[in-house]
Chain A
Amino acid sequence: MKRNATLMAYNNTCLLKSFLFLLWWMMVCAVYARSQDTSLMKMLEDSMAVTRQPQYTTGTFKGTHVINLHAVETPAQGVLLFMIMHRFGKINDGGYQLFGLDNATMRMGFDYGITNRLAAGIGRSTFEKTYDGYLKLKLLRQTESPGKIPVSVTALGGLAYTTLKYADKSYLNAKYRISYTLQLLIARKLNRNLSLQLAPAWLHYNLVPAVADKNDVFALGMGGRMKITRRASINLEYNYLPGNQVNSFKVYNSLSAGFDIETGGHVFQVHVTNSQGMVAPLFIGRTTGSWGKGDVYFGFNISRSFNIAKKKH
């Protein structure tokens, strides 16, 4: 009897043990199964994090120009950009000239993306009947977090050729009519809204008005844009021209402020500036308008992009 009781007790503890073990195992399985549901996504996320490549920052500026100054942006490969830059007369011309609206100078231009990094442009300004051509090359492109490149750098090399005929200046041959621009555009998109650019420039005029004027002129351009909505931004641009370079006439630093609106393939820029010229040798070294005196030009840039080459995937 006593032996029987011990055996039963043994059997009972044995059953209890197996029952507890089963319970524990079921819990482990349940936890494992639950973790599996979310781990499918976690597995993907982990895999993505490991293989993630740095990506180029896009949309540092909306257009290829801040206002007058070139921006780091170039058209993508196979994209032709048609751009009209237009400046009315001076606002201080008064009511008779309808505050400058009676007069206008303009520049028509084409930019073409040869590759995603290299673009060529040509343009023609009514101001002194100037033709211009340039090459823009993206040397560095800013990359996003895990990126290591903090800025975008684009080199700009340009040439301007004035063709206005002067009856009294028959000596003006092709050489005298040319001026060169070499500029480094360094920009950083600080956040989704704010981008800033620095642009040291070296200009060379083959002909200057007087002996006191330097043929080689150095300047520092600065530009920025602040997005106010997803498709509109406020732009500011200042081109600092250190003294003792242009002496025979009074020059001012070019200061422009504007507003960009983008819709589909168009970028529409409206601005006020004290520069009438729209190519670097004109607006950097030949700005004669003064904000203080009210020599302010109202103007706009309109660009339209066309895809003329099929993009290969």
Chain B
Amino acid sequence: MKSLILIMISGALINNVVLNQFLGICSFLGVSKQMKASASLGGAVIFVMTIASAVASLLYNYVLAPFGLDFMKTIVFILVIAALVQIVEMFLKKKSPAVYQALGIYLPLITTNCAVLGIALTNVQNEYNFIQSVLAGFGTAVGFTLAIVLLAGIRSRIHEEDLPRPVRGAPIVLISAALMSIAFMGFSGLSF
């Protein structure tokens, strides 16, 4: 039990997917202009990453590993995750339009997010079992959401500031993200 909680906290804070592993930077910088949009994206990422981790774990443990097809995992994971998100999207559209509206365009957008694939591969590398993979995926996605919502908050404040001309726009966002990353490095000493 303790190790499961540790996996989640480690995924969310200590090995934060964006700020420590530098995966999913594109959406992290691209969709963090508004708090609301970034929160929706975060929700969609939590949803997709948890499911993708679960399916990838099952697929690896029961199909790829027994056949000795370890080297094909990247391709198979991409294929399956993309199809899975598509299916989930259709399902939501029919059964739960409210959720579909809330996640909106972000659901298909993160199908190709490297963070989603990255976590599926990291789970395999760490030799996690099914439950551990699901929790690691969930924890990591929560970490992504935390990071992107924090950055959106910072950016909305920066937006109102009178900045020196050279750092306006993209530069100040990258500087903020870098400072956040350094701050998150502080978690690396965390132990239980």
A binds B: no
Q: Which residues of A contact B (CB under 8 A)?
A: none
